[in-house]
Structure 1
Amino acid sequence: MTATPTEHRAKIAEARNVLGEVISRARYANEPTVLINRGKEAAVIVSYEDYMTLRELRGYLRELEAGTTSDDAHKARMLGEAMAVAQRRALGD
């Protein structure tokens, strides 16, 4: 069974002091860090790979929302596959 990856949380000022560690966790351990500003989630530091996956998913989603082509079923399948990849990454597979 695969364990759920750790999600770290840190105030921005604290994360700034250990930025190299925060980046290493995102890059090598696939562990995001949620940055907190004044008690609220402000941003997340994730690996570049995860960021690019998110961009790709957003693009597919925009195309599906437009719904102007007869190829929407294909796009929906592609989005589902990309989401499955993202989920596997999040689970550390």
Structure 2
Amino acid sequence: MTATPTEHRAKIAEARNVLGEVISRARYAGEPTVLINRGKEAAVIVSYEDYATLRELRSYVAELEAGTAPDEVHKARVLSEALALAKYRATD
């Protein structure tokens, strides 16, 4: 069982002052930093590995959505719903 990584939050100006530390946390510890701009989440600094995984998942969902087999359509819907739920939870 994998523990949920620590998520850091920082205003963009503050993160800029310690950018090396923010990048190191993402890269080596797998700890993302949510960047805040004017009180709202603006972006997230994550490891390249996490970014590549997200891109791969999005590509996979797009391929499944383009498919015509019922199984592919079902898989695409399940993955799309999971991504939508993750996005909803991230903004909650």
TM-score for the superposition, normalised by structure 2 = 0.73
Q: For 1:41 and 1:22, locate their aligned partners in 2 and report how far apart those are by CA, in whole Å.
A: 16
Q: How is 1:31-70 mapped onto 2 (pairs within 5 angstroms)?
A: 31-68=31-68
Q: What stretches of structure 2 of length at least 5 have no aligned partner?
A: 83-92
Match of 2:87 in 1: none
RMSD of aligned alpha carbons: 2.7
SS of equivalent to 1:4: coil
Identity %: 83
Q: Deviations over 1:30-66 (max 9, x none)?
A: 0000000000000000000000000000000111122
Q: Give the Å deviation of 1:3.
A: 3.0
Structure (1/2) with the larger helix percentage = 2
Q: For 2:4 and 2:50, locate their aligned partners in 1 and report how far apart those are by CA, in whole Å.
A: 16
Q: What stretches of structure 1 of length at least 5 have no aligned partner?
A: 84-93
Q: For 1:2 and 1:60, locate their aligned partners in 2 and report how far apart those are by CA, in whole Å.
A: 24
